[in-house]
Structure 1
């Protein structure tokens, strides 16, 4: 299996998951709306009679049992956590059955389990319903349509325990399931607490870029000016500039051999229209993604409450179902401002995916190049390439399958210097081209290509296949190979990031500083995560604790590395800054 080549041993699971002595509290809803809580041991056997609770009583029940450190088991954290947070109750650990089901259903490690072999059912639908809960809401405000019955929840949990216990390397999956589940808690907490946001600053930033505010659906002054220049340069006053198809035709009528309207394609062309057109596209994107309408919709009481979706991508990367938190452009980051008496600690992992690749492949030479320094600079210092830009281009080519241009020219040098790392990506690509599965460090597996892909490959082997059939099959195989090439690296990086955030959250839990007025009780005095983007986090913290928070974030990065890769000598370097505004961190 490609994702398992030459790996150091896996450390015990994040958050202290124990095989023996674990106390599980399985929560589900009965037909009459009550909540049924069943205490289970590590094997899933009940240890006491189930308790029946009303929805109003449940938060206090949870709060009373949290000091004992149970792991709550429920169908979907996005359904349960918001109501608990609204009541002032936080949960340290949980097991999210829907998210864990998706991992176990597709993992190569559990392919022989009953869970993987059963027919698709209700547990296979999308995990997150992402119901936003207003401040002060109670559990009665939550809708639990299609809630699994108590016996279904119990049966699913037992099935998951069996799948993990019967797999060849249960420690890997236990760590992944724990990290994925705590990620769901973090997502719910970040949405509930919100990212501090100043609408007055946001308005000023937009006005400086776009001109004074206008009615929704109307072009601001700066965009209208650019539109006029573009139409003049193209000698066409009637085409719809915001229609990609009409813009492409207008460019072609002006003699430009444009094949798309993507910015990187337009930059290859020489014409007076290109400069205003690129500026127009940039500002139009700002207006649509983070303009005044977005501000009015998503900023509530000085907070941005994004709707994160953990595990949205097949690699385990997060997505979003609202608000666009995974793409906050630099133009508006100045509006992210800490509360008075508080700070933002902004941290991101330097060259995360290349470092993950070095550890995955146990390539000690590549790991050494990044020890205590910028990895790309280390590659240059090792004499592999001449410049940092070349090192970056070559490494991205290795991870994403670029074989032409500058990347293709530099890849042989990289392969000679780091044969284990490049060998792993090549093996992953070849597996994908065959239609095989690859697996991340902790056990998340890639999906198999679909039926149309399989049919195209089969057609190429038919004696009557044409040259076109063979070209199409080779092209699709290469495309899938590029997907699997990056899957093992990107997926393992997502696992590292989950473990990193889990450790940060765990250490922040007990810190307390000056209480912020008019903030939810769970986050009024405690530093807490407020933003996450693949390899970057922001913690909102009282000023007096900012230095300690920086240390926690840095320690957590090293801990996440040990959890995934044991004692393999790879550094996960961070850049961290304590600032008043997000714009100051970059």
Structure 2
């Protein structure tokens, strides 16, 4: 039972069973959706969840199932996923703007036709069951992303302010540096004899370092760390704190952490961090953000993520996800056996593949990312002998990439085509009069793209596992909250997802059901493994913490 939702200016069209075709004012949509969701629980077909669902969530309506046409189109037809009316920004509001009407609007018939086309494409694919699972997980992730953005991550603004003050000094006046940064800048200027140096300007800083006799080609951290000079210590500390100020300083706090309704907007009241997630914002299917930097919260700042009184965070992350996914994709029972338990790298040591856990990690990362030199290159042959099926999967993906052949994840997400520069390099190298330099560049480009496709199949499949984990957990939390009522400062009812980062989830939950939520997290991880890989004996353990502050889970 499916219902297609088509926004049309100030109106919306519903089409499908059990409602037939209805046209109603946009403000009437939440009530109608609530009624249909309660009575029939249809699968809602949305042109773009990020554009349609926020209005429903804001009105207090949440749906269980959906099919996101835009996300599905990107998987099924990546070369033409964002043309015309489908090329629309996420998080668009219903407020009219001067840009209205510049892109062609999609009619109900357009969406119905696109939905039929997508269903036919899935049915004609080599593995329709896997592809359906991918599209369902993507769509459920889009619902969860909207809900998490709306609900927000609990945030103690006073703790955040104190963290910044401890590290940087008191909040400065606009246009000036914090006290600690200014003191470090003065040390840097003094030690390179450049009294007017602006250390935030990379060109100025590079010139100053070179004038001081330092042989550097950039101001990157790894290049500076190898130097022995009095300026290096204060410069590295300045760069570290300047990054914190730029990414999560007071300006970020004012912009992204909103006080709870009914609390004082004085900059220190408890609030919620409302990031803007972008589902499948990375080509492998991993999420990204279009604002707020939620996927890069430094550890110092996590001290400010504090659960409400009487509530807890259940924080869970999947241990060594990508190697376990590789073992399952390959059907490599020897590697799956090493993965039993919480530490796959120690499993490699116990099987005698390598001598130390550190070497096991280097070897595995070398296999996943195509490292052929140094310690990884030396250890790779051992890994290939011990796990020929697992290493064969990534080696084949690398060879395909070197030839420019697309590869696919386990559930069927295709890799992008090589860029035009890659094709041009291969074309030049293939000419009869090609110079040796052109041949070398083409081979290097081929190897580089092979490393990308090698990692694409594993990282993309790991993202699919995580999407299934998130989707199943979202359903379990809905069931856990059904028929039970809790209250919190923001009026939320029941345990709910508040954060997702690749292979980590955070649930905000009343303390009295935290153990039930932790069990739901573990059960959802087991279900995700079964959905993707059936009965193949590979474990996906998750490390679960029940904490009051996010930093305590580290």
Q: Does 1:435 align with 2:408?
A: no
CA contact (8 A) 1:514 1:542 kept: no
**Of 105, 121, 133, the match for 2:77:** 105
Q: Distance in 1 between matches of 2:170 and 2:81?
A: 57
Matches within 5 A, 1:251-270: 251-270=209-228
Give the TM-score of the pair, scaled to structure 1.
Answer: 0.88
Matches within 5 A, 1:405-416: 405-416=374-385
Name stretches of at least 5 consecutive residues in structure 1 with no aligned partner. 1-22, 41-46, 107-115, 133-138
Q: Which residue is equivalent to 1:470?
A: 439
Spell out, residue by residue over 1:564-585, the C-alpha distance to the aligned partner (whole angstroms, 9 max, x if none): 1111111111111011100111
What is the deviation of 1:281? 1.3
Q: Distance in 2 between matches of 1:282 and 1:346?
A: 27
Q: CA, structure 1 residues 369+177, in 2 after alignment: closer, same or farther (shift >3 Å)?
A: same
Spell out, residue by residue over 1:184-209, the C-alpha distance to the aligned partner (whole angstroms, 9 max, x if none): 00110000000000110000001111
The alignment partner of 2:316 has SS state of strand
CA contact (8 A) 1:29 1:35 kept: yes
Q: Which residue is equivalent to 1:136?
A: none
**Of 30, 48, 51, the match for 1:59:** 30
Q: Which residue is equivalent to 1:121?
A: 83
Q: Does 1:365 align with 2:334?
A: yes
Compare relative contact order (CA 8 Å, sep 6+) and give the higher one, 1 or 2.
Answer: 1
CA contact (8 A) 2:472 2:527 kept: yes
What is the deviation of 1:389? 1.6
Q: Which residue is equivalent to 2:232?
A: 274
Q: Distance in 2 between matches of 1:100 and 1:464?
A: 45
Give the TM-score of the pair, scaled to structure 2.
Answer: 0.93
Spell out, residue by residue over 1:282-333, the C-alpha distance to the aligned partner (whole angstroms, 9 max, x if none): 1111000000000001010100000000011110111111000010000110
CA contact (8 A) 1:130 1:321 kept: no
Q: CA, structure 1 residues 354+167, in 2 after alignment: closer, same or farther (shift >3 Å)?
A: same
The alignment partner of 2:480 has SS state of coil
CA contact (8 A) 2:15 2:108 kept: no
Q: CA, structure 1 residues 140+358, in 2 after alignment: closer, same or farther (shift >3 Å)?
A: same
The alignment partner of 1:496 has SS state of helix
Q: Distance in 2 between matches of 1:440 and 1:552?
A: 27
Q: Which residue is equivalent to 1:531?
A: 499
Q: Does 1:546 align with 2:546?
A: no
CA contact (8 A) 1:130 1:309 kept: no
Q: Distance in 2 between matches of 1:428 and 1:340?
A: 50
Q: CA, structure 1 residues 316+170, in 2 after alignment: closer, same or farther (shift >3 Å)?
A: same
The alignment partner of 1:321 has SS state of strand
CA contact (8 A) 1:397 1:408 kept: yes
Q: Which residue is equivalent to 1:112?
A: none
Q: Which residue is equivalent to 2:266?
A: none
**Of 12, 15, 19, the match for 1:38:** 15
CA contact (8 A) 1:79 1:144 kept: no
Q: Which residue is equivalent to 2:462?
A: 493
Q: Distance in 2 between matches of 1:498 and 1:123?
A: 27
CA contact (8 A) 2:287 2:502 kept: yes
Q: Which residue is equivalent to 2:7?
A: 29
Q: Distance in 2 between matches of 1:330 and 1:180?
A: 29
Spell out, residue by residue over 1:155-184, the C-alpha distance to the aligned partner (whole angstroms, 9 max, x if none): 111111111111121101100000000110
Q: Which residue is equivalent to 1:164?
A: 122
Q: Distance in 2 between matches of 1:222 and 1:483?
A: 41
**Of 271, 275, 284, the match for 1:315:** 284
Q: Distance in 1 between matches of 2:176 and 2:360?
A: 45
Q: Which residue is equivalent to 1:284?
A: 242
What is the deviation of 1:49? 3.2
CA RMSD of aligned residues (A): 1.9
What is the deviation of 1:272? 2.5
CA contact (8 A) 1:39 1:50 kept: yes
**Of 47, 57, 69, the match for 1:85:** 57
CA contact (8 A) 1:369 1:378 kept: yes
Q: Does 1:555 align with 2:523?
A: yes
Q: Which residue is equivalent to 1:14?
A: none
Q: Which residue is equivalent to 1:482?
A: 451
What is the deviation of 1:263? 1.7
**Of 451, 458, 461, the match for 2:430:** 461
The alignment partner of 1:559 has SS state of helix
CA contact (8 A) 1:525 1:542 kept: no
Q: Distance in 2 between matches of 1:439 and 1:251?
A: 46
Q: CA, structure 1 residues 123+180, in 2 after alignment: closer, same or farther (shift >3 Å)?
A: farther
What is the deviation of 1:384? 1.6
Spell out, residue by residue over 1:266-293, the C-alpha distance to the aligned partner (whole angstroms, 9 max, x if none): 2222222222222111111100000000
